[in-house]
Amino acid sequence: MAKQPIKPRWATYASATQYTGLSSRLLEKLVKEKLIASSLVRRPGCARGIRLIDLDSVDRFIERGIDDTCDVNFLNNKSSRKGGRK
């Protein structure tokens, strides 16, 4: 009987970027806005640690966009701010 690969629940920003195709900057923004879950894992008394992203929450966030219509006005305003067409 073949073993099925186990899907990890938690990932670093780099792994979450590879898993989703979203940039690490966007993932950071989603964490900051509490749209996806994360955890800072560190030893007691340590100032530094590693931030892990909950891949289940990322999946739920992405799935909320299924069948959502594109906001054309937002896209047009975004391109005009970057010097694109108005």
DSSP conformational letter for 64: T
DSSP string for 9-44: SEE-HHHHHHHH---HHHHHHHHHTTSS-EEEE--T
CATH fold for domain 10-69: Arc Repressor Mutant, subunit A (1.10.10)
Query: What is the longest distance spanned by two Cα atoms in the chain?
Result: 59
pLDDT category at 62 given cuts 50, 70, 90 is very high
- Going by C-alpha positions, the residue among 18, 9, 19, 6 that lies closest to residue 41 is 9
30-58 pLDDT, tens digit each: 999 999 999 999 999 999 999 999 999 99
**pLDDT given at position 11:** 97
